[in-house]
């Protein structure tokens, strides 16, 4: 099969909607168009049944005890805000201290900053150079005033998988709630909210081959029963936690995407991890001074985040414009600041500016990976040939010893 360009390797930003998901969703736009809250007639009941089925599919995908724990939202950003702000406001009588990690998604970090402005105290924990949280540091940070710990499952930039079960056990021992943003994890790694001791879990459809605009927050009902203050007020939908008419077509699609991901994940993860290995091996075989960002072992199958020394990241992106990748995280990539995630790992600014995030997914092929290796190699070599710094390095000069004089 002939390779078609551009090649899409930005599956952490969003994924293509699986044709099977689209097929499941389409009838609910026109044929089964009822409002799921209108239970007095057949149109509403058909819609409600479809929503119930999807809720059950979502619950199975994360190991939830009951589908009644699934609260449907507009996406992971809303779910993050509902979990963090909702728990903080509901449990303020117990304490005013929150803990999260400095490499979390902006939706989590900014929700915590908003709570700081309300008077809550927040501890932003550092990570180790491999991107993983040190559990001893977390243990020491928890106090009698701590009410919530927020740690993401898979980092959106470097793909590292945090030790969720260990964090869950630690939070249980200390009697604090554990919230997990699983937007990048759902359908990629095995998730089990019961086994992992998670109390609140946010996820979204468009990271797992579903449509944009639909997400969910799982809220534990037993041991302990988690209570949240809602962000929206209205008709009392979603057990009063998220008022608003349900987007039935998107919910049906979300459920179908979860069903497919749950069923196909073991085989799909192995295939995608093999493509990632092929990409990494190919880049290292052809180029010197390529640096991996984040732990290699504890990593989502489709993620490769690498820095190409002595190449300017924006120039590299322009040079491989027929390959869709990103520098840093897609939500903040308009900024020319180096990635805050890479800075937290201790990657210095010059190297952080050269980082590229490759996101490999369900529809990628070996031919596309080989094409990416060739194009990145050509472009990095061409840009380095234009770099006086690269020339000095090739001559054996240690740039750290150079005394740069100003004029």
- Model confidence over 232-279: pLDDT tens digits? 888 888 887 898 999 999 999 999 999 999 999 999 999 999 999 999
Structural domains of the chain, ranges and CATH numbers in brackets: 7-13+265-396 (3.90.1150.10), 19-261 (3.40.640.10)
pLDDT of 218 over the 80 cut: yes
CA distances from 51 to 32, 66, 72, 202, 396 (A): 12, 14, 10, 18, 64
- SS3 of the chain: helix, strand, coil, percent, to 5: 40, 15, 45
Long-range contacts of 273-276 (CB under 8 A, 24+ apart): 273/301, 273/302, 275/302, 275/360, 275/364, 275/366, 275/369, 276/301, 276/302, 276/303, 276/304, 276/358, 276/360
Catalytic residue among 102, 171, 180, 331: 331
Contact (Cβ atoms closer than 8 angstroms) between residue 342 and residue 355: yes
331 is catalytic: yes
What mean pLDDT value characterizes the chain?
93
How far is residue 398's CA from residue 394's CA, in Å, rounded to a whole number?
10
Average pLDDT over residues 318-326: 95
The residue ranking higher by pLDDT, 335 or 31, is 31
User: Which of the four pLDDT bands, split at 50, 70 and 90, describes residue 330?
Assistant: very low
- Model confidence over 26-81: pLDDT tens digits? 999 999 999 999 999 999 999 999 999 999 999 999 999 999 999 999 999 999 99
The residue ranking higher by pLDDT, 396 or 224, is 224
Q: Residue 371 has what pLDDT?
A: 98
Whole-model pTM?
0.94
How far is residue 100's CA from residue 296's CA, in Å, rounded to a whole number?
23
Q: Residue 328 has what pLDDT?
A: 57
Average pLDDT over residues 335-351: 86
């Amino acid at each position: 099969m002939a390779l078609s360009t551009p090649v899409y390797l930005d599956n952490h930003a969003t994924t293509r909607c699986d044709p099977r998901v689209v097929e499941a969703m389409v009838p609910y736009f026109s044929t089964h168009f009822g409002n799921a809250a209108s239970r007095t007639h057949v149109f509403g009941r058909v819609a409600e049944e479809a929503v119930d089925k999807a809720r059950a599919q979502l619950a199975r995908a994360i190991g939830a005890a009951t589908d009644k724990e699934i609260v449907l939202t507009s996406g992971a950003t809303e779910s993050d805000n509902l979990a963090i702000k909702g728990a903080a406001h509901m449990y303020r009588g117990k304490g005013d201290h929150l803990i999260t990690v400095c490499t979390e998604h902006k939706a989590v970090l900014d929700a915590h900053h908003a709570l700081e402005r309300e008077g809550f105290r927040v501890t932003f924990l550092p990570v180790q150079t491999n991107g993983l949280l040190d559990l001893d540091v977390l243990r020491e940070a928890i106090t009698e005033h701590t009410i919530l710990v927020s740690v993401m499952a898979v980092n959106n930039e470097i793909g590292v998988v945090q030790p969720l079960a260990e964090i869950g056990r630690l939070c249980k021992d200390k009697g604090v709630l554990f919230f997990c943003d699983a937007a990048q994890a759902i359908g990629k790694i095995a998730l089990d909210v019961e086994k992992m001791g998670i109390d609140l879990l946010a996820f979204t459809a468009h990271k797992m081959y579903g449509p944009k605009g639909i997400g969910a927050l799982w809220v534990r009902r037993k041991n302990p029963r988690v209570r949240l203050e809602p962000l929206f007020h209205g008709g009392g939908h979603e057990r009063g936690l998220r008022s608003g008419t349900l987007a039935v077509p998107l919910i049906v699609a979300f459920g179908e995407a979860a069903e497919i991901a749950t069923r196909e994940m073991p085989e799909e993860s192995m295939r995608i991890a093999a493509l990632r290995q092929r990409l990494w091996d190919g880049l290292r075989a052809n180029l010197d001074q390529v640096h991996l960002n984040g732990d290699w072992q504890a990593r989502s199958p489709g993620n490769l985040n690498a820095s190409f020394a002595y190449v300017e990241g924006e120039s590299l992106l322009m040079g491989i414009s027929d390959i869709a990748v990103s520098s840093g995280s897609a939500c903040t990539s308009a900024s020319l600041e180096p990635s805050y995630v890479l800075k937290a790992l201790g990657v210095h600014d010059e190297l952080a500016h050269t980082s590229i995030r490759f996101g490999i997914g369900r529809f990628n092929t070996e031919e596309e990976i080989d094409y990416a290796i060739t194009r990145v190699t050509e472009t990095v070599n061409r840009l380095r040939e234009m770099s006086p710094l690269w020339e000095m390095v090739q001559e054996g000069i240690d740039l750290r010893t150079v005394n740069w004089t100003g004029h």
